[in-house]
Every structure is written in C-alpha cells, then in structure tokens.
A and B are shown apart, each in its own frame.
Chain A
C-alpha cells in the first residue's frame, strides 16, 4: 500500500486495565477449540461461523494471573479498545491533508458503493443506542453484542463483496433473528474452550493439561454423575499448589447466567438498527449458508425451502429460552426432577440425553412413558425403574412437599393411572423388566397409601380417587401375577412386592378380592411360595412369610365365598400349629408370629362358621399350645390375643352346631371337655395391667363361653357362671382387672378430649392415633361389659338384684355419654375426612351398643332415660350392628305402652292401643334396619346368627354410607328414620315388609300412620326431656315426614275424603304436635331479621333425597304435593302449612314460581297465619327481596284478583312494596313505576292501601300485620314524592292514603 489506508489492519493493543479473559479469545486462536459434546459441536459448527484467521491471537503474559472476570462484563471494558481505535483513527484523519482525505473517500466509495456512509452511520447509531441501553439496564450484556459493529468496521474490507442492503425485505425475519442469535452465541464462552487456549510456554513453568479440566468438574457437580465416572476426571488442584497456573474460571454460558433480556423482547424493542447490524454481521461471517450461497451459488434463490435444514438450528436453539419460562419437568435416572437451569448445562455422559429433544438433560414424563415401552429390555427396565421412583415421590407429594414433586401437585391421580398402566403392561416380561414393573406396581399400589397397610376391616374404594386401581385390567394382571409367583424367576423381593400388591388390591374392594381368589393358580402359588417352604429350612430357601397369612385373612374376611375357597388349603397351615414356637425350626419371633397369624386366619374362617372341625382334628396340638400359652415361656401378647380370639370364634360356633357349615363341626360338649374356660381363667395369672388388649380378648372369650353355656349348659349355665364369677369377682372388686378397667376409662377420656379439641372439619389423618387409642380402650370397656352381661341368667325382666361383679357404672355411663355426643360422628362424613373413619368408629359403636344393654339392667335407669339412650345410640350403629339395632328397636317399641305414657302424663287416644299399639309398626321398623342388598356384614362380635348369614366381615366404603343418599345399608340411621313405616306405605309395591307380614297383622293405613307418628312423637319427647338435642329431628325432617302422610293419598282412586289418612283426627293431632316446636310462634327468634345466612340443618331437598333417591328431584315431589292439595285438600290447614316450606327465599325461585304462578288460584285457600308457618325465620320469606319478574307478577296477580289472607298476603304485599318503594330498597326503575300503576289501576282499595302503607324492618324484628301498615314516619312523604314522579293522578290518589293516616 502506497499510502496508509484509512481502514488499516488490526494490531495488538494493550488493554487499559484488565486483560480480556482467555475465554474471550478462545476461538480466535487459530486452532479449532476442543469442544465438549454437551456444547453440541455440530450445531455450533453450523450455527456459529468460524472466525479464525481473522483474529489476532491474544498474547498474554503468563505471570499476570488474570483475575476471574465478573459475571457480567460491563460494556465499558469492552469499549476500551474501541475508544482507543476511534481516537487513533481520528488522529490519523486529522493528520491527513485535504487531498489525501478526498482521495480516501473516493477510494472507499469506489470499494463499497455510495451508500457506505449511510451504512456506517447507522451502524454507529445502533451501537450507541445499544450502549446507552445496556448502561441503563445493566443486564448481563453479551460482551460481543457491542463488539459486532466494530468487527463490521474492521472486517469491512472482505465484507465489501457481500455487503447487501441490510433491511432488504426479502430476508425473512427468522433469518435475521437466527443470525443475531448465532452472533450472540458465538461470543458466549464455551466451558471447555478455555483449555484450548494455548498458553505461552515459558521455561520453568509447569502447566497441567487435561482434556477435561478441573474447572469442568465443578460445573457438573449439581447433578452428580455416578461415583465411578467422577474418578475418571482429574481432581481440582489444591489451593496450596502454587505451581498451578489457572487457565481461567469457567463461567456458564451467558444465557444461563441470567436470561439476557429475553431475546424476543429485545428484538422487538431494539429497533431496526440492531437487527440490521446483526444481519450485516451475519452476512459478513464466512461459512454461513447465506455466505456460501452468495459466493458460490449466486443464482440460487435465497431462502430455498429445500435448504431449510442448513440453518435449521436457528429455531431449535431458540427453544431453551421459551422453555425456561414454562418449564416441563425433567427427571434424572433416580426420578429426581432436574432444576430447569441445570438441565441445559448437564453433560451428556450422565446418560440423560437419550431422547428426541437433544439439548436438555433429563427426561420428561412423556419421554419416560415412551421409553418404558421400548423394545430394548435394558432401556425399558431402567425407565420402569425411574417411573417407580417417581411414583414413590409422587405419592408423597400431597403429604410432604419436600419429599414429593411439588411441580406435579394435582396431577397425582391421572399420573397414577398411567403409571399403573405402564407397570401392568410390563408385568409379564421376564428378568429385570419384570422386576422393575413389579416394583412400579408396588409403588403405585401398596406403597402409595402407606397409612392404609393395617386397615383391613373396610373396603377402601373411596381412597382411590380417580379410580386408578379400578382401572387396572385385572383379568390380564392377575394371571400374570399368578404366573410370576408360580415360576418364581423374579428375585424374592419382587415376589414379596407382588404379594403386597395383591394385598392392596384385595383391600380395595371385596369384588377384587373375589377375583383374586378365583384366579387360577394364584392362591396355590402364594401358598407354595410364601408358606409351604421346606422344613427344616435350607440355607437358600426363604422362611415362610406372615404377610401371606395376613393376606389370606384379608381374603377370607372379604367374602363368604372367598373364605370357603380358602378352607381346603387351610389344612396345610397346620404345619405352623403342630410345632410349638419354642421347638420350631424357625426363629422364635417368626414362629410365634406364624402361629398367631394362623390362629387369626382360623378365627376369620370361623366367623363364617367354616373350618371349626380343626379343633377336633388337631386337638392334641391345640392342647399343647394352650399349655404353652399358659406357661411363663410365652411372652407374646400377640399370640395370646390370637389364641383367645380363635377360642372365642370356635366357642360361638359351638353354641349352635346347626349354624356352622357343615353343621356339627364342633360341639359344646367338646368345648367343655377341652376345658377352654379353665384354661382362659388360668391365663389370667400371666397377665398384668399393661396387657389391656389381652384382657379385653380374655373377657370377650369368657363372655362367649358364658353366653354359650346359657344355651347349652345345665340349668342355664349356672355352674359355669359360678366358676367364672368365683375366679373374677374379687379381682374386679380389688385386683388387677379393676385397675385395667379404670385405666381404660381414664385413657379413653383423655384421648377423647384430645380428639374433640382438634376436630373441626373432619377426621384427619392426624387424628388417627388418638382415635386408635380410644378404640383400644373402648374395646376393653365393651368386653368388660359383655362379660358382665353374660353373667346374667336369661330370665326376662330380671333387673339387677346384685351385680355379678363390680364395674364403675357411673364412669362408664359418663364416658359413653361423651362418646355418643362426640362431634366425630358428624365429622365422619365431611369430604375432608379420611375415608376409613367409620372403621375406627366401629369399636365405639360396639361399646355404645353393649352399654345400652347394660344400662337397661342398672336399676337406676328409668324406662324413658333408657329409651332416650336407645334412640341416640341407634343413630351411632354401623353396618354389622343390625341385630343389635333390631333388638333395641323392638325393646323400645315394647316399652311404649299406654301405661308408660299415662305415667308421664301424656294422653294418647285409646284407639291406638286397641289396634295393638306399636306392634303394628314393629315389622316395618325392624325390617328397615335390615340391609336391602345381598351384602350382610358380620358384626364385631360374631353370633350364631351371623356366622350363618354374614357374607363379609368388612365394612362397606364410606361413600355408600352417606347419610343423605338413598342407600343399600340402612345403618347408620338418620335422625328421621322413625318415619320409615311411611316409606314402606308409600312404596308398598316394592316393600319387602308386606311380603313377610305375620298373618295376624291386619292394620289399616291410618293405624300404621297413627302408630308411626306416636312413635316419632315419643322419641322426640324423650330425647328433648333428656337433653339429647343432637338427636332431635330438624324442622325439615319433620316437615318432610309429615308431607309423606299427605302424599299417601297421591295416586289413590277413592273419591271419599273420609278415607283420607290425613283427615284422621289422631293423625292430624299428632302431626300438629310434631310441628308445633317448629312453627314461627314457637320462638321469638323466628321474627329476627335479617335471616340467618348459615343453616345448621340440611335443607328440605337434601332431606328428601334420603327417601326419593337421586332419580326423583324434590321439585317433582313438590309439584305432586301441590297438585294433591289443589285436588283434594278442601283447604286443609296443615296441608297448607306444609305447602309453604320450600317457598322461602332460601330455596330457588322455581318453587315459588310453581305455586304462585302456576297454581295461583289455590293461594286464596291458603289461610295460614304468620305464626303457624313452619319456619325458623319469617324473614327468610321476606329477604332478600324477590327479583324474579315472573314471581313478582304472580304476587301482583294474586293480590289484585283474590282475597289473599294471612301469611301469603304478607309475602305478596311485602315483595310488591319492596319492588316499588325506594325506602324499602327498590332502585326506582321504569319497572317499579309500571308496577305501581298496575297496583293502582287493577287493585282494590284494600290491596292499594296495603301496598302503599306497608313498611318493614330490614334489621331487628319483623313487623307482622297489622302493625306493618301503621307505622308513622317521614317515609310517607318520600313515597308521595316518588309517586308524584309517575304522574299527578297517581299522587292525587295516594295523597289521602299517605297523609290522611300519618297524623
């Protein structure tokens, strides 16, 4: 060059303050950087143009250890050299002569074309604006984003050829953004490249080289690779090693450090300029597709779609940015979610990149599900393993946020289904895939609800929200499991997991349990695998597993047919019985456990009356066991309990040999002969106060023996009683047993206190421990009472002369009172409650039931107190207690006699007693306590009846016991159950009772109704008298019950009103008495306004649902009711009162519309006075004001047309007045004027006067007519003003009314 060019070559310059980091210069060395795979070398090669050859190598003195660069580089530092260049250029230009400058200009224009000045100016502007911006925002700027214009300047010579108009419209936007990003990226230092920078070699300096430098290791630590892999890498240099030269500190790529002003946003914001610059730079880079095209294929069209793939990375690379805003969770191989910021930076050798979207480490759920169906077994197995771990975490998400995966909250149910499906699909595979599939199933079933493991007495269907378990393809799954168990290829752990899965499935529902039993070869395999292990055990054979016995118990408890299917294989379990635990080949604890589980299994079979013959066939062994248990060698309370339980079950079987299946399997004489009772009494010596549960079992078993002796023993079992009493009486008075009872009472009270303190919305999982405590003590107390009761001889009407032994009666009754009225019974059904709460309440209802029997024997209990207790406790019984319930109901009905009522001063017409009194309805009452379906649930204490009839020993799920549904199980009873004879009359076609009535029964409908209403009335009276207010029926329940009486006439053909039941004087009187406490006149509270916003009792449509079911809405019932009133009522006053119930503003407008609009003509026959309305709040009918135009129109029509009277008139006037007058809350629209005119034009004098003068309080007390028409006040003038607005004539008409009376 003859003269120094204006644009010169670039020389090395000294940095002002800080040397640029080596990473900065990585790709400028002239050598290809060593690139780690995680940097997506290929993608980079395409996306990032090579810049080598053009950059001056950065020479760095090695004795200057560069300080670690701050994370975000300030643009000032970047600009140091640029300022320097600028300064230099300026000086040079200044030094030139005028001609020289002119010549240079021409030269440049020649080279670059006339627009170069414009281009450069714009580039400069862009740079400046960008700089300003980055200064202002201080976001981690891309170091080279301000760098690029400079390179445009410096590289201008070469670029000249390819310089294109930057804002050419032909360049699509994606191209521009691509090149921008690629530029941005190119500048971000790659983690590994720092090592490739060749350091200056100086003698005497040791430099350590490694392919993977120590700093690389630091990067990946957040997701630890396997320990083995870590050992491969060099450890980081120790701080003391001063021989080490740092090669710089690794910085994560800028876009991960801080999300560089979201790219999209900056693109929008940063004006054309920056894009142009970027576009220009992109074009300047060598090796880009565009560059190649221009150079070598100038004729080819730009943006050829068939060459799209060449720049395809542009969009792909943008994904991380968009994704980081909405992260999908990625999991590593341990099922742990990888944080979003790490998933981009993790290296690929961890094995986390084997999925379609290659740039992120870790697998999304979808990836895992996809790979879990892989045909490569290893892959499939590992993915199933990941799923299992995810399932483990997922199950704990709702409980514990830390252990779980909070990102997936709310999706647990849907995912559980999918997880189960994935596991079930792979269950048939062999080897590790099968094992992992089993593990996955295990995590999704038995491990999912851990707190459920000991809940065997109830079907847990409700716990399975979203029906994940019911969705399992059992007809496929179970044979596979059977196969897996019989082949036993899988490791023993997997087989155990399979057992646990089966256990959980059997817990789910009885029908699944039945399917399990029916599955071919499944039960035999379980026996083979877990129970019939070789004796003596060899080294490699597993021990028998007590869990399998538990599982068998569960199956047996689930249904009668399952139990009978298990009777045959039960023989093989005798192997655990014939050797005593002490001489067993197994370790003592295991042998003891096996023996006790076997005994419990036998007891479960005996609760259906099965397999009792084992007592005969294995009698020597049982004698041996009994001896062992009585000896001091036996320390296991579990074994004692199991033994006593089995004895109790067999004793019950022996009581009536015809009830067992097959009959006569065990005989009473044998029971006596074996001396079980003596054995049991002897066992007592071994027990002390801490063996509470064993005591309970012992008492219960002894009671069963005494109950049997009453039937089978000589002279009603007198000797046996004497024997037992002789042994126990003193102990109950002074000894251990007294203490046991007292302690149980004390602890029960404490635990109950704890429960009621925390219980608000429902029985939560945290309440379970205290509830279990209460259960245990309640069980003890109940057993003690059972024993006490069994010591009575069976002569009827025999009250206590002298108690057989002492029990603390006072304390017992107070505890029972606390339990009966405890809030836990109502909170049982709230949606927050655990779905097996009723199982935990079962011992309590057993306690209450036995207390009820005890209470009858205590001399201090008056018949009415006992009756009140009976009515209360009946509401606390659960399915399985039907027998107790029936007996109680029959006893109560027996107690209600003419004498009983006369003694209490209640006069009841003799007619009722002449027709047989309560006997008329007893068949209905007892029948309605029996289950409607085929399921008969065994009671907690089996009886000879139950062992013959019970079909299952497990409680149904809670959802089938909801009080407000129509249910198959009559228990637990609702408070209005006493109306049930009416239900049978109303549904006489389908009622079972009528088919089974005794021949002597010949009562008429009216007599049944009379007796029912009397029964209801008595129940309410005694409950109220004894302050058991919780058990009183609500207003809605009584109202609906009375509606049933009227509805008996619905659809009847007779046309004589004399036959109508509701006209019967006694029926009418009883109904009036029942409704009296619920009428408005009963309490001054009913006049309060505003009406209560929260209703403590169920609304009438909810109450009706119990009877009507889901198919018939209450509205339909109400329309029938109104229709009946219209047809036959002759304006019966009580009928009319009941019509008004659902008309309050609490209920939807449809009811009001129906009566007021569709049956407008009947309203004049409803002459109910406001005091007689069956309601808790008159205000409920008045506020809020009716807004439904149709109903208001109907009010108006009824008011102007007919002579409305009483309450209906008040309602009509109120709502019309409130819709007209502003002082009552009307907003004064056009409609109100229209309404006012309509009243004035159509209404009679009375109607107009009432509407105009009506005044009501919004708060305080409701004013009833006539007072509501006579209130003085300013409002009269206001109303007159308001009326004046709708016309002078209106004002005139109202002047007299409003002013005449005001003074």
Chain B
C-alpha cells in the first residue's frame, strides 16, 4: 500500500519547520499558513475558532492530499490585526479553553466521586435545568 509510515504522520523531518507563514502578495491582510504533521483535527478546530473573531474576514483550510500530513490554513483579517497574530491568539484561546475544560472535567469527576453522583440520565447529562437555556446553540427542528 502507498500509505506512509504511521510515525511520519507526527514526527517532523530533519530540518522541517512545523509552521510556515506566507503573506499573500495579492490580497491585503491575508496569509497562507502551512502546518505540517497535522491533519483535519487541528485544522478544523483552528478554523472554527478563527471564524469566531469578528476581525477575521475569511478562514479556511485545505488538506491538499490525504496521504500528506500537512494542511494549508488561509486567513484574511480586516486589518486590525495580522493573520499571524490572530492565529496566535486563536491558539492561545484554544489552549485556554482546553485547559478550562480539563480542569472543569476533573473537578466534576472528583465531585462526582465524593457526592455519589448527581442525577444523570443514561448519557451522563444532568436532568435538571430548562431545555432552552442550557440547550445547544441552535434548535434542531427535525
């Protein structure tokens, strides 16, 4: 098979840089960022984080080839911040979010052990609380 070695999916080659930023020559405040040894997991996360900022005009990525472990992230901003900076901010925010999530999870997990558990349904969702307020960010009208 033509699949590459598993370790090549995450181990950087000799002298390879994991992030490479190319400022776009034609479009203002735009950059193409090549991130190697990563795949959709990170790319999708970054894109949705970026699209949450009002100063981002465009954020998208493509993974040019499924067997090549890198992707190209394209960011365009409104000029108040450079693409590289907003990417950095996005990464920081994401890390923060993950850290918060982790600590929250750990706390809940220990509390769960201590108190013997809150009332949960089969999927581990607390059964109290209003449907709308705590629900998802949109309604599934199906």
- How far is B101's CA from A1079's CA once the two chains are assembled, in angstroms? 48
- How far is B141's CA from A1190's CA once the two chains are assembled, in angstroms? 7
- How far is B132's CA from A1237's CA once the two chains are assembled, in angstroms? 8
* A1055-B22 contact in complex given A1127-B74, A1161-B48, A1241-B133, C-beta closer than 8 Å: yes
Min C-beta distance of B102 to chain A, whole Å: 25
> Are A1193 and B142 in contact, with the CB atoms below 8 A?
yes
- How far is B60's CA from A1126's CA once the two chains are assembled, in angstroms? 5
B26 in the interface, Cβ–Cβ < 8 Å? yes
Tell me which residues across on chain A come within 8 A of B34, comparing CB atoms: 1055
A1164 in the interface, Cβ–Cβ < 8 Å? yes
A207 in the interface, Cβ–Cβ < 8 Å? no
Tell me which residues across on chain B come within 8 A of A1193, comparing CB atoms: 138-142
In the complex, which residue of chain A has the Cβ closest to the Cβ of B54?
A1203
> Are A1058 and B138 in contact, with the CB atoms below 8 A?
no
Min C-beta distance of A665 to chain B, whole Å: 58
Chain A residues 1098-1128 with CB under 8 Å of chain B are 1123, 1125-1128
- How far is B112's CA from A567's CA once the two chains are assembled, in angstroms? 98
Tell me which residues across on chain B come within 8 A of A1129, comparing CB atoms: 58, 60
> Are B138 and A1131 in contact, with the CB atoms below 8 A?
no
> Are B60 and A1200 in contact, with the CB atoms below 8 A?
no
Among candidates A1058, A1131, A1235, residue contacting B25 with C-beta atoms closer than 8 Å: A1058
> Are B142 and A1189 in contact, with the CB atoms below 8 A?
yes
A339 in the interface, Cβ–Cβ < 8 Å? no
> Are B60 and A1234 in contact, with the CB atoms below 8 A?
no
Tell me which residues across on chain A come within 8 A of B22, comparing CB atoms: 1055-1056
> Are B142 and A1128 in contact, with the CB atoms below 8 A?
no
- How far is B25's CA from A1234's CA once the two chains are assembled, in angstroms? 48
A1130 in the interface, Cβ–Cβ < 8 Å? yes
Min C-beta distance of A597 to chain B, whole Å: 66
- How far is B22's CA from A1129's CA once the two chains are assembled, in angstroms? 16
> Are B62 and A1131 in contact, with the CB atoms below 8 A?
no
- How far is B132's CA from A1130's CA once the two chains are assembled, in angstroms? 35
Min C-beta distance of B142 to chain A, whole Å: 5
A387 in the interface, Cβ–Cβ < 8 Å? no
Q: Which size bracket describes the interface of A in this complex?
A: 35 or more
> Are B32 and A1196 in contact, with the CB atoms below 8 A?
no
A4 in the interface, Cβ–Cβ < 8 Å? no
- How far is B26's CA from A1058's CA once the two chains are assembled, in angstroms? 6
A1231 in the interface, Cβ–Cβ < 8 Å? yes
> Are B72 and A1130 in contact, with the CB atoms below 8 A?
no
- How far is B130's CA from A1237's CA once the two chains are assembled, in angstroms? 13
Most buried by B among A1053, A1123, A1131: A1131
In the complex, which residue of chain A has the Cβ closest to the Cβ of B130?
A1241
> Are A1057 and B137 in contact, with the CB atoms below 8 A?
no
> Are B139 and A1058 in contact, with the CB atoms below 8 A?
no
B90 in the interface, Cβ–Cβ < 8 Å? no
Tell me which residues across on chain A come within 8 A of B58, comparing CB atoms: 1129-1131, 1165
Min C-beta distance of A1063 to chain B, whole Å: 6
* A1241-B26 contact in complex given A1128-B60, A1193-B141, A1196-B138, C-beta closer than 8 Å: no
> Are B137 and A1201 in contact, with the CB atoms below 8 A?
yes
- How far is B142's CA from A1242's CA once the two chains are assembled, in angstroms? 18
Chain B residues 103-142 with CB under 8 Å of chain A are 132-133, 137-142
Among candidates B30, B51, B65, B142, residue contacting A1057 with C-beta atoms closer than 8 Å: B30
- How far is B133's CA from A1241's CA once the two chains are assembled, in angstroms? 7
B27 in the interface, Cβ–Cβ < 8 Å? yes
Most buried by A among B32, B61, B64, B138: B138
* A1201-B138 contact in complex given A1063-B26, A1129-B58, C-beta closer than 8 Å: yes
B81 in the interface, Cβ–Cβ < 8 Å? no
Min C-beta distance of A1190 to chain B, whole Å: 7
A1197 in the interface, Cβ–Cβ < 8 Å? yes
Tell me which residues across on chain B come within 8 A of A1200, comparing CB atoms: 137-138
Q: 1/0 per position for A1179-1203, CB-CB distance to B under 8 A?
A: 0000000000110110011001111
B76 in the interface, Cβ–Cβ < 8 Å? yes
A1238 in the interface, Cβ–Cβ < 8 Å? yes
> Are A1130 and B137 in contact, with the CB atoms below 8 A?
no
A1162 in the interface, Cβ–Cβ < 8 Å? yes
In the complex, which residue of chain A has the Cβ closest to the Cβ of B32?
A1055
> Are A1056 and B141 in contact, with the CB atoms below 8 A?
no
Chain A residues 200-246 with CB under 8 Å of chain B are none
- How far is B76's CA from A1164's CA once the two chains are assembled, in angstroms? 13
Tell me which residues across on chain B come within 8 A of A1131, comparing CB atoms: 57-58, 76
Tell me which residues across on chain A come within 8 A of B132, comparing CB atoms: 1237-1238, 1241
Chain A residues 1142-1200 with CB under 8 Å of chain B are 1161-1162, 1164-1165, 1189-1190, 1192-1193, 1196-1197, 1200
In the complex, which residue of chain B has the Cβ closest to the Cβ of A1239?
B139
Tell me which residues across on chain A come within 8 A of B37, comparing CB atoms: none
Most buried by B among A1130, A1192, A1200, A1235: A1130
Tell me which residues across on chain B come within 8 A of A1234, comparing CB atoms: 139, 141
Tell me which residues across on chain A come within 8 A of B142, comparing CB atoms: 1189-1190, 1193
In the complex, which residue of chain A has the Cβ closest to the Cβ of B48?
A1161
Q: 1/0 per position for B13-41, CB-CB distance to A under 8 A?
A: 00000000010111100101010000000
Min C-beta distance of A517 to chain B, whole Å: 51
In the complex, which residue of chain B has the Cβ closest to the Cβ of A1194?
B138
Tell me which residues across on chain A come within 8 A of B141, comparing CB atoms: 1189-1190, 1192-1193, 1196, 1231, 1234-1235
Min C-beta distance of B141 to chain A, whole Å: 4
Q: 1/0 per position for A730-746, CB-CB distance to B under 8 A?
A: 00000000000000000
> Are B27 and A1057 in contact, with the CB atoms below 8 A?
yes
- How far is B32's CA from A1130's CA once the two chains are assembled, in angstroms? 10
Tell me which residues across on chain B come within 8 A of A1162, comparing CB atoms: 60
Min C-beta distance of A1298 to chain B, whole Å: 22
Tell me which residues across on chain A come within 8 A of B61, comparing CB atoms: 1127
Min C-beta distance of A1061 to chain B, whole Å: 12
> Are B54 and A1130 in contact, with the CB atoms below 8 A?
no
In the complex, which residue of chain A has the Cβ closest to the Cβ of B132?
A1241
> Are A1056 and B32 in contact, with the CB atoms below 8 A?
yes
Min C-beta distance of B72 to chain A, whole Å: 5
In the complex, which residue of chain A has the Cβ closest to the Cβ of B50?
A1161
- How far is B139's CA from A1241's CA once the two chains are assembled, in angstroms? 11
Tell me which residues across on chain B come within 8 A of A1196, comparing CB atoms: 138-139, 141
Min C-beta distance of B122 to chain A, whole Å: 25
Min C-beta distance of A430 to chain B, whole Å: 67
Q: 1/0 per position for B47-88, CB-CB distance to A under 8 A?
A: 110010010011011101100000010101000000000000
Min C-beta distance of B53 to chain A, whole Å: 11
Among candidates B54, B64, B74, B138, residue contacting A1238 with C-beta atoms closer than 8 Å: B138
Among candidates B25, B74, B140, residue contacting A1130 with C-beta atoms closer than 8 Å: B74
Min C-beta distance of A169 to chain B, whole Å: 61
- How far is B139's CA from A1231's CA once the two chains are assembled, in angstroms? 11
- How far is B72's CA from A1192's CA once the two chains are assembled, in angstroms? 32
- How far is B66's CA from A483's CA once the two chains are assembled, in angstroms? 65
> Are A1130 and B138 in contact, with the CB atoms below 8 A?
no
- How far is B141's CA from A1202's CA once the two chains are assembled, in angstroms? 19
Tell me which residues across on chain B come within 8 A of A1189, comparing CB atoms: 141-142
> Are B57 and A1165 in contact, with the CB atoms below 8 A?
yes
Q: 1/0 per position for A1211-1228, CB-CB distance to B under 8 A?
A: 000000000000000000
> Are B62 and A1127 in contact, with the CB atoms below 8 A?
yes
Tell me which residues across on chain B come within 8 A of A1055, comparing CB atoms: 22, 32, 34, 64, 72
A-B contact pairs, 10 of them (CB 8 A): A1063-B26, A1127-B60, A1127-B61, A1130-B58, A1189-B141, A1190-B141, A1193-B139, A1203-B54, A1235-B139, A1238-B138
Shortest beta-carbon contacts, A-B, top 10: A1127-B62, A1197-B138, A1131-B58, A1189-B141, A1238-B139, A1193-B141, A1126-B60, A1241-B132, A1130-B76, A1189-B142
**Which residues of chain B have a CB within 8 Å of any CB of chain A?**
22, 24-27, 30, 32, 34, 47-48, 51, 54, 57-58, 60-62, 64-65, 72, 74, 76, 132-133, 137-142
Given contacts A1125-B60, A1128-B74, A1196-B141, 9 further A-B contacts (CB under 8 A): A1053-B65, A1055-B22, A1057-B32, A1128-B60, A1130-B27, A1131-B57, A1161-B47, A1161-B51, A1196-B138
